[in-house]
A and B are shown apart, each in its own frame.
Chain A
Amino acid sequence: MLSLQNIEKIYRTDTIETLALQNINLEVAKGEFLSIMGPSGCGKSTLLNIMGLLDAPTGGAVSFENEALTGFSDKKLSQFRNQKIGFIFQSYHLINDLPVLDNVELPLLYRNVSGSERRRLAQEALEKVGLSNRMKHYPSQLSGGQKQRVAIARAIVGRPHLILADEPTGNLDSAMGNEIMEILEQLNRDDQTTIVMVTHDENMAKRTHRLVRLFDGSLVSSNSFYNA
């Protein structure tokens, strides 16, 4: 479903050049649950951003569902992100001035979906993460785990093929983290959503199908677990 060939990413500022990724070759299969681990600063988020078409690699090629995405316009890439990809972040990135339901609806605002349909889909997504009773709340009235569940609902409301999660349990205690992990597992199992997750937690990683390790911008190992 997602294929990275010879990906290289160099951050250039006026004075320094940082080689964040080099020589990355990675295939993510449809329906796979992949985890990425590695020490801080090794390039995990950078890799995820490239997978999510939020950032362009300085070298190499990305293809998504057998379509090479090099040289695509901003409009086309945005459309891709909107329809095919869902993002989950460590710091949730909810809009604090909007109630939960509106936060979840957000991706549908950038599609041609009627207001009532948006509402219905968002309610459905919130049901999936068990937050139907918090629709009118504001993010500041929720716990960390609940916020992340809202973020997951927002990520799945548009029925994406791929979910990219950057340390989704990083800010949560183990019980809450476990809850989030269960939701992700369920999405992967029941809806065949492909998931790529960055984590610092070995136990979380072990619950996925495959773990790749990143060190200093390069892939160093790949373990497969046969949890599936």
Chain B
Amino acid sequence: MLSHILKLIWKKKKSNFLMMLEIFVSFLILFAVWSLSVYTYRNYANPTGLSVDRVWTVYLNFNTENDTLRQQYRELVSRHLKSVPEVEHYSFTSSNMPFGFSSSNGEFSYEGKAVLSEVMFVGDDYPAVMGMSFGPGRWFQPNDTIGGIVPIVITQCLATALFGNEEPVGKIIKEEESTKKVVGVAPYFRHKSSYQSVGNCAFQPLSKWDTDLLLKVSASATADFEARLARSIEQLGKDWTVEVQHMDDMRDTQDNTIEIPILILFVICAFLVFNVGLGMFGVLFQNISRRKGEIGLRRAIGATERQIQFYFIGETVVIAGFGLVLGVFFAVQLPLLRVFDVAAGVYLWGIALALVSVLLISVLCAFYPSMQAARIYPAEALHEE
């Protein structure tokens, strides 16, 4: 039966070509969307390595350019926060805190390898504030800085990029202006959004200009407390400005910037696929009404209604199959040529899901017209020609 279908399709290749092309294009679109979905989901499924629960960001502006003053003010705020029972932990931070809008990158070199990474300047209590999970090693302590060495904590991803399988804790990274020593490793720290891939991040002790603040507050901290706290900090100095944001809101904002484009893409894709389906539906109907005589004949020589229906579904699936083979050929080039830095598994899932979707759509679109074909009255169909 297959060779029979193939012969008929080949003979009508011109009219079938368009359908094949539509299937091919639909496949590529679905492949892209599915791959993106799988990629995004896989990232999402990774541990975040941090917790935004009850974490508040305090944007603090001391309104001074004087570094000495700034450090004194920081001390002042620290002392004040220690007296507030609702503040469980706090840490100053550079302005590129998790889920914020700024980013600061530095280059780390080790044995000829240079790796770019986010660098955050944070306080000693930072892991407690961010609820960080911890790998080998520990967080840096005040006396780590003795001897001009800068202690750093890095994510596992960065450790692997720099040192491969070697033990990262204790490694020294020599740079022009400073020498850094790895004291600890955080297995994960996905700080850009819930959908960020596992990436590089490094933490080092505060520099003199870092004045933003992160707080871990207790469950009893209310909105009222938030306003009081902001005011009480403002009153510590002159012309200070204080703005408080909840980190879960910040994360949601970042997530939205990823979710919304994907959602729009989904809608566009659904619309395209719907149109392709509708087109196939129409073409099949036209095909079937043009081939009434053939259907009548097939019925006369012994095809059952079911066989007629399956025959037309089969024809559609075979035509779709050609489009899909072509599509898969192009799709596998992405992992083969390593066009993007994405795991091959993502593409394979993308291909599999796109294949299933296209076949499902084809069968669904072919089902009703084929059923109509099966219901054609053979005596009438034979009469018409």
Q: Roughly how many angstroms separate A154 CA and B298 CA in the complex, as a whole number?
A: 12
Measured CB to CB, the closest approach of chain A to B297, in angstroms, equals 5
State whether the Cβ of A93 lies closer than 8 Å to any Cβ in chain B. Answer: yes
State whether the Cβ of B283 lies closer than 8 Å to any Cβ in chain A. Answer: no
Are B297 and A93 neighbours in the complex by a CB distance under 8 Å?
A: yes
Measured CB to CB, the closest approach of chain A to B343, in angstroms, equals 44
For chain A, give the interface size range.
20 to 34
Chain B residues within 8 Å of A, Cβ to Cβ: 1, 3-4, 7-8, 11-12, 293-294, 296-307, 377-379, 382-383, 385
Chain A residues within 8 Å of B, Cβ to Cβ: 45-46, 49, 52, 54-55, 74-75, 78-79, 81-83, 87, 89, 91, 93, 95, 97-98, 102, 106-107, 109-111, 115, 154, 158
Contacts of A98 in B (CB 8 A): 4, 7-8, 11
Interface of A is mostly: helix
Contacts of A158 in B (CB 8 A): 301-302
Given the known interface contacts A49-B379, A91-B385, the answer about A97 and B305 at a Cβ–Cβ threshold of 8 Å is: no
Interface of B is mostly: helix
Are A87 and B8 neighbours in the complex by a CB distance under 8 Å?
A: no
Given the known interface contacts A83-B302, A93-B293, the answer about A45 and B11 at a Cβ–Cβ threshold of 8 Å is: no
14 contacts between A and B (CB under 8 A): A45-B383, A49-B379, A54-B382, A74-B304, A78-B299, A87-B300, A93-B300, A98-B7, A102-B4, A102-B7, A106-B297, A110-B298, A110-B307, A158-B302
Are A97 and B302 neighbours in the complex by a CB distance under 8 Å?
A: no
Further pairs besides A45-B379, A98-B4: 6, Cβ < 8 Å: A54-B379, A74-B305, A79-B302, A93-B293, A93-B382, A110-B307
Measured CB to CB, the closest approach of chain A to B314, in angstroms, equals 12
Contacts of A110 in B (CB 8 A): 298, 301-303, 307
Q: Roughly how many angstroms separate A103 CA and B117 CA in the complex, as a whole number?
A: 70
Contacts of A154 in B (CB 8 A): 301
Given the known interface contacts A55-B379, A74-B305, A102-B4, the answer about A97 and B11 at a Cβ–Cβ threshold of 8 Å is: yes
Given the known interface contacts A74-B305, A98-B8, A102-B7, the answer about A54 and B385 at a Cβ–Cβ threshold of 8 Å is: no
Measured CB to CB, the closest approach of chain A to B385, in angstroms, equals 5
